Amino acid sequence: MYGRLVGRRRQGYTIVAVMAVLWLAPMVVAGVVEGNGNPRADAVTVNRDATAEQPGGNMEGKEARFGPVASAHITIGTMGTSAGITNSALDSYVPVGGASALGPILLGEISPGGVGSGLYGILVYILLAVFIGGLLVGRTPEYLGKKVLGTEVKLVALYVLVLPVVILAGAAASVLLSTATASALNPGAHGFTEIFYAFASAANGNGSAFAGLNANTDWYNTTLGVVMLAGRFLPMVVALAIAGSLAKSRVFARSYATMPTSGPTFAMFLLSVVLVVGGLTYLPALALGPAADQLGL
């Protein structure tokens, strides 16, 4: 019994470590790029250096009390929650800073965690990592003594697909309609980011807005409402189905054939699975939005 409790504690530490990396990384990136500011300012001889009179960096859309770095840390630090707290205008961020805000939302708000969805979101990724890891090393895919079988894997795959389908479908339909694209304040890649962010935020229940998009139209009120319902409730149903399936299976004793689910190795593997799945899913949209916007600076 004591050994099992120690093992559970180690697994908990592993999850916390992965979530800490996923939370801190976008904050650091956003702080650096916003602290450096917009390189186009050099062309008009704007001084972006921090001095006693100014905080420096990209001050557009920021409050003077906090400056660009602290504003980025506060804003990006809440993107992985359901709070959607912002103390600066995301539409004024440089493209990489805007992508840092999108990242935690697109990963499903698993760190530090949206209300409810953050916990079962990271658990679903753990089951996926356990299954993939078991295939790679020839170990039995188990987690907390429960075997991860075909039923659970199919439900995990369905969970992973739900949010991308509703987000990308809504954004794709919006960029095909001239009336929908007219609501974006900016043309091109930045305008696409505004639209993409609106559907990502609605589907994940984040509550924040990239701004620059007039969403108070018949099209956006309808589509964002549908995406909000699908993105918030369908994953919940799938997560409950996974829990029900695992609850019916018996607990197996740990053996040498069981793949370890704690420690640095599994932490790195879990982090890789989260980033690879998120990257393969959203990389084309991010390339059309923030990446193209950054290359245009």
The model's pTM is 0.89
Residue 13 has which token pair? 């530490």
* Among 208, 10, 26, 234, CA closest to 117: 234
The neighbouring-strand residues paired with 66 are none
pLDDT confidence of residue 1 = 43
Point out the residues of the chain with pLDDT beneath 70.
1-8, 42, 45-48, 50-53, 116, 255
Q: What is the DSSP letter of 87?
A: S
CA–CA distance, 34 with 97 (Å, rounded to integer): 7
What pLDDT shows up at residue 7? Answer: 59
d(CA 90, CA 51): 24
Structure tokens at 171: 């954004």
pLDDT, tens only, 248-275: 888 877 767 778 888 899 999 999 999 9
Question: In angstroms, rounded to a whole number, what is the distance separating the alpha carbons of residues 123 and 119?
Answer: 6
Please, what is the end-to-end C-alpha distance for the chain in angstroms?
59
Residues 6+ apart with CB under 8 A from 15: 122, 126, 270
Write the CA distances from 58 to 49, 100, 192, 271, 297, integer angstroms. Answer: 10, 15, 21, 31, 14
Query: Residue 134: what residue type?
Result: G
Collapse the DSSP code of 258 into the 3-class scheme (helix H, G, I; strand E, B; otherwise coil) and give the result.
strand
Q: What is the pLDDT of residue 3?
A: 45
The DSSP secondary structure of 13-75, one letter per residue, reads HHHHHHHHHHHHHHHHHHHHHHHH--GGGGGGT---S--SS---S--TT--TTTHHHHHHHHH
Task: Report the pLDDT value the prediction gives residue 229, as an integer from 0 to 100.
Answer: 93
- Residue owning tokens 């935020």: 201
pLDDT, position 171: 95
Residue 286's pLDDT is 94
In the chain, what are the domain boundaries? Answer: 2-295
- What is the rounded distance in angstroms from the CA atom of residue 53 to the CA atom of residue 134? 57
Residues 6+ apart with CB under 8 A from 2: none
Q: How far apart are CA 237 and CA 243, in angstroms?
A: 10
Look up tokens 């305008």; give the residue. Answer: 191
- One-letter amino acid at 94 equals V
pLDDT the model gives residue 165: 95
CB 259 within 8 A of CB 134: yes
* pLDDT score at 52: 63
pLDDT of residue 169: 96
Q: Which two tokens stand for residue 273?
A: 């699975």
Nearest partner of 135 among 118, 151, 153, 122, judged by Cα: 153
